[in-house]
Structure 1
Amino acid sequence: MVARVLIIGGYGNFGSYIARSLANDGSIRLLIGGRSADKANAFSASLEVANAAEGHAIDIDGDLDAALDRIAPDIVIHTTGPFQTQDHHVARACIAQRCHYLDLADAREFVATIDRLDAEAKAKNVLVVSGASSVPCLTAAVIDAYLPSFARLEAVDYGISAAQHTNRGLATTSAVLSYVGKPIQMLRDGVMKTVYGWEDTHVVRYPGLGTRLFGNCDIPDLTLFPERYPTLRSMRFCAGHELKALHIGTRALGALVRLGMIVSLRDHAGPLLKLAFAFDRFGSGQSGFHMFMRGLGHDGNPLERRFWIVARSGHGPYIPCMPAILLARRLAGDKDIQPGAMPCVDLIDLDSYLAALSNLDIEIIRDEIDA
């Protein structure tokens, strides 16, 4: 049986990569969805597919139930952000249609509360997964892989540094700007404390990339991980631009938000995105992810583990797409996946995730330190 896989936002940055990755899978028929039927049809026609692809007009803010009934997907991959301004109505519509649902959401509350749909999903025998992306899928997989080394994991400090030469979309930019200068709750010294988006500026040196600047960001992990890893006393997730000038500029604008002089940078995402593109000649296609884990080893001594991913040739943005690709293939292949609604943890282990990146210009670096 060939599964009908609808990608909402299928001709966008993330959606198009997912589509190309799934195109030659004989168990999948791609359905490219977007607001523009012409763009959806044109992109569908450009794909080299195992089964004929289809283009469909679909608007998540329109009559979604009718659209899903017309398109009749078996699996839906929702890539159209920003998820910070959305509720779970797309997932609910998929459940009603009895089709599996995956999204690439990075919005904290959106992902952390998807389990509220668990009973509905089980009743219709479908899988509903939110955050099938770098956070929390990759981040949890890294911690889980290293957790046996620790008698007690006490702190995680991690972040993502974007390449300047990236096909940045308006939705992704809006998502990041939504919390710049805004209060964020993070676990510090055993309690949740208020920090501010893009503050706590610090430097991380990457193997082969040099130094990058980072500032606080809001992600689902900050809600999910303190319960998932109960020995944690401190967490810090940060993000940053490749170019220090852009990072410092964003930090300065965040200060204006905190002072109340600007309501939200998300309202200015379009002009700020155009301004960022003007700096492309000074940047590269190199991005990175790092995670530093600290705690006590089984010998009772302090222990630190470090993990990096360095992406070159502009391949960094493909990393967040891998969980949706892997899960779609698994669902299309009728693999045994239990129904329900959940954040994307415990579904893909680190080895499987990294193996999916093996055909990209990506380097994995592990540095083990006994402090």
Structure 2
Amino acid sequence: MVARVLIIGGYGNFGSYIAHSLAGDDAIRLLIGGRSVLKAKAFVDTLDASNTAESHAIDIDGELGDALARIAPDIVIHTTGPFQSQDNRVARACIAQGCHYLDLADARTFVATIDQLDADAKAKDVLVVSGASSVPCLTAAVIDAYLPAFARLEAVDYGISAAQHTNRGLATTSAVLSYVGKPMTMLREGAMTTVYGWEDTHVVHYPGLGRRLFGNCDIPDLTLFPRRYPTLKSMRFAAGHELKLLHIGTRMLGLLVRLGIIGSLSNHAENLLKLAFAFDRFGSGRSGFHMFLDGIGHDGNPLKRRFRIIARSGHGPYIPCMPAILLARQLARGSITQRGATPCVDLIDLDSYLAALEGLDITVIRDEVDA
């Protein structure tokens, strides 16, 4: 049986990566959905699909129930952000339709509260997964892989540095800008502490990439992980631009937001995105992810573990897409029996995640000493 997989936002940045990755799977028929059926049709024509792909008009702000009944998907992958300004109406519509649901959400409350739909999803025998992306799927997988080495894991410090040549979209830009200069809480010294988006500027060195700047970012992990890893005393997640000038400029704009001089930078996302594109000549297609873990080993001595991913040739965006790709393939084959609603943790282990990245211009560095 061939599973009908609808990608909402299928011709967008992340949706197109997922579509091209799934197109050759003979267990899947791709359904490319978006507000413009003409754009969906044009994109479908570029796919080398094992099963004839379809184009469909669907608007998440419209009559979702009617649209899903017409399209009749078995699995829905929701890629249309920003999720910071959405509720879970798409997931609820999928549950009502009786189809599985996956999203690439990175919005803290959106992902952390998806389990409120658990009973409804189980009643309809479907799986609802939020945050099928780098956070919290990859980040939890990295911690889980290293956790047995620790008698007590006390701190995690991690972040993502985007490539300047990443095919940035307006939704992703709006999502990031929504918390620049805004208050958020992070676990610091055993207590949830207020910090501000894009502040706490710090430098991380990547082999082959050099020194990259980072600042605070808001993600689901900051709510999920203190409960999941109760020995943690401190957490920090940060993100940054490849180009230091753009990073510092964003930091200065964030200060104006914090002082109340201007409102949310997400209101200016379109103009700021155009400005960022003007600097592409100075950047590259190289991005990075790092996670530094600190705690106490089983011998009672301090223990450190360091993990890095370096992506080149513009392949970085494939990393956040992998959980949705892997889960869609498994659901299409009936190899996942879990039902209910959950953040994307405990579904994909680190080895499976990294194996899916093979063949891309991506290097994984697992070192056991401080770098």
Q: TM-score range by the shorter chain?
A: over 0.9
Aligned residue number for residue 28 of structure 1: 28
Q: Following TM superposition, by how much is the alpha carbon of 1:337 offset from its aligned partner in structure 2, in angstroms?
A: 2.1
Q: Secondary structure at the match of 1:251?
A: helix
The 5 Å alignment of 1:3-82 reads: 3-82=3-82
**Identity %, equivalent residues:** 82
Q: Secondary structure at the match of 2:256?
A: helix
5+ residue gaps, structure 2: none
Q: Following TM superposition, by how much is the alpha carbon of 1:336 offset from its aligned partner in structure 2, in angstroms?
A: 3.4
Aligned residue number for residue 129 of structure 2: 129
The 5 Å alignment of 1:92-171 reads: 92-171=92-171
CA-to-aligned-CA distance 1:33-91 (integer Å, 9 cap, x gap): 00000010111121101100000000000011100000000000000000000000000
Q: What is the alpha-carbon distance in structure 2 between the residues aligned to residue 206 and residue 323 of structure 1?
A: 24
Q: Secondary structure at the match of 1:281?
A: helix
Aligned-CA RMSD value? 0.8
5+ residue gaps, structure 1: none
Q: What is the alpha-carbon distance in structure 1 between the residues aligned to residue 170 and residue 233 of structure 2?
A: 35
Q: What is the alpha-carbon distance in structure 2 between the residues aligned to residue 155 and residue 207 of structure 1?
A: 23
Q: What is the alpha-carbon distance in structure 2 between the residues aligned to residue 48 and residue 175 of structure 1?
A: 31
Q: What is the alpha-carbon distance in structure 2 between the residues aligned to residue 246 and residue 26 of structure 1?
A: 43
The 5 Å alignment of 1:196-345 reads: 196-345=196-345
CA-to-aligned-CA distance 1:215-236 (integer Å, 9 cap, x gap): 0000000000000000000000
Q: What is the alpha-carbon distance in structure 2 between the residues aligned to residue 326 and residue 365 of structure 1?
A: 22
Alignment length, in residue pairs? Answer: 371
Q: What is the alpha-carbon distance in structure 2 between the residues aligned to residue 135 and residue 207 of structure 1?
A: 23
Aligned residue number for residue 358 of structure 1: 358
Q: What is the alpha-carbon distance in structure 2 between the residues aligned to residue 338 and residue 272 of structure 1?
A: 42
Q: What is the alpha-carbon distance in structure 2 between the residues aligned to residue 171 and residue 86 of structure 1?
A: 12
CA-to-aligned-CA distance 1:316-337 (integer Å, 9 cap, x gap): 0110000000000000001132
Aligned residue number for residue 183 of structure 1: 183
Q: What is the alpha-carbon distance in structure 2 between the residues aligned to residue 42 and residue 286 of structure 1?
A: 29
> Which residue identity does 1:43 align to in structure 2?
F
Q: Following TM superposition, by how much is the alpha carbon of 1:244 offset from its aligned partner in structure 2, in angstroms?
A: 0.2
Q: Following TM superposition, by how much is the alpha carbon of 1:102 offset from its aligned partner in structure 2, in angstroms?
A: 0.1
> Which residue identity does 1:110 align to in structure 2?
F
Q: Following TM superposition, by how much is the alpha carbon of 1:369 offset from its aligned partner in structure 2, in angstroms?
A: 2.1
Q: Determine whether 1:346 maps to 2:346.
A: yes
Q: Following TM superposition, by how much is the alpha carbon of 1:338 offset from its aligned partner in structure 2, in angstroms?
A: 1.2
Q: Secondary structure at the match of 2:45?
A: helix
> Which residue identity does 2:128 align to in structure 1?
V
Mean Cα displacement is larger for which, 42-51 or 129-138?
A: 42-51
Is the 8 Å Cα contact of residues 303 and 370 (structure 1) preserved in structure 2? no
Q: What is the alpha-carbon distance in structure 1 between the residues aligned to residue 280 and residue 52 of structure 2?
A: 37
Q: What is the alpha-carbon distance in structure 2 between the residues aligned to residue 7 and residue 366 of structure 1?
A: 33
Q: Secondary structure at the match of 1:345?
A: coil
> Which residue identity does 1:76 align to in structure 2?
V
CA-to-aligned-CA distance 1:168-187 (integer Å, 9 cap, x gap): 00000000000000001000
Q: What is the alpha-carbon distance in structure 2 between the residues aligned to residue 188 and residue 338 of structure 1?
A: 34
Q: What is the alpha-carbon distance in structure 2 between the residues aligned to residue 269 and residue 260 of structure 1?
A: 18
Q: What is the alpha-carbon distance in structure 2 between the residues aligned to residue 209 and residue 27 of structure 1?
A: 39
TM-score, scaled relative to structure 1: 0.99
Runs of 4 or more above 4 Å deviation: none
Q: Following TM superposition, by how much is the alpha carbon of 1:370 offset from its aligned partner in structure 2, in angstroms?
A: 7.6
